[in-house]
Structure 1
Amino acid sequence: MSLKAVLRGCGAFLPEKVLTNEDLSKKVDTSDEWIRERTGIRERHIASDGELTSDLAANAARVALKDADLAPEDIDLIIVATTTPDLTFPSTAAIVQAKLGAGAGAAFDIQAVCTGFVYALSTAEKFLISGQHKRALVIGAETFSRILDWEDRATCVLFGDGAGAFILEAQEATDAGERGMMASYLRCDGNLVDLLYVDGGVSSSQTVGHVRMQGNKVFREAVTRISQAMVSVCEEANVPVTDIDWFVPHQANERIIQGVVKKLDLRPDQVVSTISGQGNTSAASIPLAYCAGVADGRIKTGDLVLFEAMGGGLTWGAALMRV
């Protein structure tokens, strides 16, 4: 029996608190114009005191469960992609499992920074098509505001908090038809760690640390590596890049997104972008953008959707799915 991982539902959650560029200009030497020109970001959502990554993740998961018409006990695999876990251990996925009342299925976290959701999607698919699990809850969730240096204008203006969730289900290929995950492509170059990292950790400093980034170098790497991943994943699926219906990118920087669109000859109206109102929510950005595209009616059942991301590591990757 041949199985496919099919998307059953999606969910999004953003914290209520909003931090605008004007708000930031009162904290650091920046301006709304400076931020928008360089990034495309206008505002971002920030978790309140006491609002944890697992809270955001569980809220997004509940929306996804409702969208899929499923109950928590129908889920037997939970994967949370996050760089900002509640605790060193246990995993945020374990905490989410308990908050949902999902039962004793498998639950674990994936840490690939902004590429985390693509890594998590690919991992979940492998579990599902093996027949080991039936339904996977795949979540990207971040409280990135907790690891920002609010005096560093190069980084603090970029990031926001949020969570997005997909529910994937193993279905027989004959039943799924064309729908389902078609291919994924994952890469990492550890020689480029110093381009984007956090200067603290359990083993090194016993502190949380702050985000540090060589922005110009990351930008130069991004368009080339992201484009290559997108072409590679489409080649694996034997689908021309120009045949996709929607491009749902990691929401890192509007100029990076535009650079990829130009390089691959895509149309601007194929892009689902949420960066203006959400900023870079790291592992949460892809599912948040996808949910926005579904909510406003652009993305429909049967559409061919291409996801991509690049993050610290440097990690990068892409996934192709008929939704």
Structure 2
Amino acid sequence: MIKEAYITRISKFLPHDPISNDELESVLGYVNDQPSKSRAIVLRNNGIKTRYYAVKDGVFTHNNVQLTCEAINKLVDQQEIQKVDLLACGTSSPDQMMPSHALMVHGELRHAPSFEVVSQAGNCCSSIHGLKYAFNSVRVGDAKKAVVTGSESFARKMQASNFVEEVQKLKELEENPYIAFEKDFLRWMLSDGSAAVLVEDHPNEEGLSLRIDSIDMCSYAQKYDTCMYMGGDKDENGNFKGYLEFSNQELIEKSIFSVKQDVKLLRPNIVAQGFEKLTEICERYAIGADDIDWFLPHMSSEFFRKPIQEALIKYNLPIPQERWFTNLTKVGNVGAASAFLMLEELLNKNMLKKGERILVAVPESSRFTYAFVLLTVV
């Protein structure tokens, strides 16, 4: 018997006080002891006003595992975690390659019992992959209570010491904001934080829950080359090479472990491809723009708001802006945690009403993957 699955609780952990745009370089450092020539342009395009870093007075205070555990400990106490059947964790920025992120999180939860643990690798969609795993596990009865997390730890990777001097193409940046997603420019895009959701086979007896109606994902990796990457690089012919194919010296010289973006691929594909897929999903479930009360698009930058709106109109899903909700400008782009952070604010600030329907859209540029979640407030 297939059961229903519900998000009954959401927590978040955003380390320390919010960092304003004027404070960024004091936290991340100056490349070659010079202020960034591109920072102001990038910030103008991405619209982020404040974000969070796991850094306090120049000292790193949390790694990814610790950020994740903070959110979990706010979600379930030591008594309730004894009833958890499943832990699924998604992140773009694990602290290590082995063991998996979720196993390291479980290891840090000393008061937790033994239960199923799943790590979802990838980028922004990784937490939604974890949510779908929990969704299906609860539906078929493999789990009654599942914890799903999304987290990122980028401050260490964005430190000035990790970047080599690069030519700042200011004129090109002004004319083409997609340039803002190349290597050094990503320093002003990504931030730290975590969020956790509790998925159960019944709704809350008191207060609101979010019934998970559907989770649909689609990859277009067979059509497009690698777009956003870390731990590899592209050669002169555009072929992607993983870090094992580089010498130790090249790993440093080419900044192989910096986060990079191929903006030539990003520009024509990131919005259009995914929202074309959304049309098929809406047709399958017989829903239209009028059926969506809240539209939560994960945007790495406010720059994408207009292209997303144009794509929705093009594909006959013209959800008006007054039904959109994001908190990018306040919390920054927290990658795998971003979708959960939007839901957390809606649910915990009593912005929802029973019967409302929520559509969450998460585009991932690494190899063009898209996730769409449909929820009903109950």
TM-score by length of 1: 0.87
SS of the equivalent of 1:309 reads strand
Match of 2:301 in 1: 253
**1:116 and 2:148 correspond:** no
Q: Could you tell me how far 1:216 is from its partner in structure 2?
A: 5.5
- 1:135 aligned residue: 145
Amino acid corresponding to residue 276 of structure 1 in structure 2: T
**Is 2:373 the partner of 1:319?**
yes
2:58 aligned with 1:22, yes or no?
Answer: no
Distance 1:41 1:313, change over 3 A: same
| Cα distance, 1:158 vs structure 2 | 0.6
Whichever residue aligns with residue 58 of structure 1, its letter is C
CA distance in 2, matches of 1:4, 1:20: 42
Instruction: Count residues in correspondence.
Output: 315
Q: Which has the higher Rg, Structure 1 or Structure 2?
A: 2
Q: CA offsets per residue over residues 74-124 of structure 1, 9 Å max, x none?
A: 211111011211222222222322433331110121012011122222222
Q: Are 1:209 and 2:257 an aligned pair?
A: yes
Aligned counterparts, 1:293-308, within 5 A: 293-308=346-361
Runs (5+) with no aligned partner, structure 2: 31-35, 164-182, 204-208, 233-241, 313-317
1:159/1:170 CA distance change after superposition, 3 Å: same
1:230 matches 2:278: yes
Question: Which amino acid is 1:59 matched to?
Answer: E
Query: 1:217, CA displacement in angstroms?
Result: 3.4
Q: 1:186 aligns with which of 217, 235, 248?
A: 217
1:241 & 1:230 partners in 2: Cα distance? 12
1:292 corresponds in structure 2 to: 345
User: Corresponding residue for 2:177?
Assistant: none
Deviation of residue 130 (structure 1)?
1.6
Percent of residue pairs identical: 21
> What is the deviation of 1:272?
1.7
Residue 65 of structure 1 is aligned with which of 76, 82, 99?
76
2:268 to 220, 231, 236: 220
Aligned twin of 1:55: 66
Q: Distance in 1 between matches of 2:89 and 2:70?
A: 13
CA shift at 1:306, angstroms?
1.0
Show the counterpart of 1:175: none
**Cα distance between partner residues in 1 of 2:224 and 2:357:** 32
Distance in 2 of aligned mates of 1:112 and 1:301: 33
CA contact (8 A) 2:42 2:185 kept: no
CA distance in 2, matches of 1:23, 1:217: 31
Check the 8 A contact 2:217/2:370 in 1, yes or no: yes
Taking the aligned partners of 1:86 and 1:53, their CA distance within structure 2 comes to 6
Whether the 8 Å CA contact 2:38–2:185 is kept in 1: the answer is no
**What amino acid is aligned across from residue 340 of structure 2 in structure 1?**
P
1:123-202 counterparts in 2 under 5 A? Answer: 123-148=133-158, 150=160, 151=163, 152-171=183-202, 180-190=211-221, 191-200=223-232
Q: Which residue does the alignment assign to 2:44?
A: 37
- What RMSD, in angstroms, separates the aligned Cα atoms of the two structures? 2.6
* Structure 2 residue identity aligned to 1:169: E
Match of 2:53 in 1: 46
Deviations 1:47-68 (A, max 9, x none): 22141111111111222336xx
Could you say if the C-alpha distance between residues 294 and 88 of structure 1 is closer, same or farther in structure 2, counting changes exceeding 3 Å? same
The alignment partner of 2:367 has SS state of: coil
How far apart, CA to CA, are the structure 2 residues paired with 1:179 and 1:18? 28
Q: Are the aligned partners of 1:272 and 1:290 in contact in 2 as well (CA < 8 Å)?
A: no
Listed as ranges, the gaps of 5+ residues in structure 1 are: 173-177
Distance 1:72 1:45, change over 3 A: same
Q: TM-score, normalised by structure 2?
A: 0.75
Q: 1:80 aligns with which of 89, 92, 95?
A: 89
Contact 2:39 2:185 in 1 (8 A): no
Q: Please say if 1:269 is aligned against 2:301.
A: no
Q: Is the 8 A contact 1:230 1:241 kept in 2?
A: no
Letter in 2 for 1:247: F
